[in-house]
Chains A and B, each alone.
Chain A
């Protein structure tokens, strides 16, 4: 019964390159969330997706960042033309259902640590 799987665990990119972070939710989960965590800070919500739909992207930077959750395969967080300020830990979480009133619990992956040189 695998949990939320994220890969790669560590990703190093040079400025201007693209970063692709992958997340496979728990089996049976159709809701995926991406969070970013800067050093010594709490997690910041980025985007919430269901299969083939973006439900809430209010936390996504307006440029260079995009996310998808296709019908088949993992969810992808894509960062184009990375800059040093993108260096952070990126966490993915999944849930079984969209909870009514917020009672649903999230299951998190171990994260991808992105380092931009």
Chain B
């Protein structure tokens, strides 16, 4: 499975935008980029995913580099409820949907 690299931790002030980076230099042409987050004592929650074009939904935006070797999850206004571990994951093996979770980025939101 192609691997991703994320910073271990980041901090953000409440109500400010947050840019969470992810490097995936070995991504293949058919790999999707997924983001999930995990709040304390809960299961992971889907945030967003994309293939080549930037994506927006009610939770976040996903900016994908032109060469697809990196991407950035953007939370437009961080709230205390956004404090979680954010996982950047590649998925694309034919016939399989299982996702490889690394250690993710722990986001701390400062009031």
Report the stretch among B17-25, B60-68, B72-80, B100-108 that lies at the interface.
Answer: B100-108
- Using a Cβ–Cβ cut-off of 8 Å, how many residues does chain A contribute to the interface with B? 29
Q: Considering the chains assembled together, what is the distance between the CA atoms of A5 and B63 in angstroms? A: 33
- Are A103 and B44 touching (Cβ within 8 A)? no
Given contacts A35-B101, A41-B103, A42-B102, contact A98 B44 (CB under 8 A): no
Q: Considering the chains assembled together, what is the distance between the CA atoms of A20 and B70 in angstroms? A: 40
Which residues in window 15-51 of A have CB below 8 A to B?
Answer: 31, 33, 35, 41-45, 48
Most buried by A among B34, B36, B44, B94: B44
Interface residues on B, range: 20 to 34
**A87 at interface by CB-CB < 8 Å:** no
**A110 at interface by CB-CB < 8 Å:** yes
- Are A108 and B30 touching (Cβ within 8 A)? no
Interface residues of B (CB under 8 A from A): 30-32, 34, 36, 41-46, 49, 51, 87, 90-104
**18 new A-B contacts at CB < 8 Å, known A56-B96, A109-B43, A110-B42:** A4-B43, A41-B103, A42-B101, A42-B103, A43-B44, A45-B99, A45-B100, A91-B43, A98-B95, A101-B30, A102-B31, A102-B96, A102-B97, A103-B32, A104-B97, A105-B49, A107-B46, A108-B43
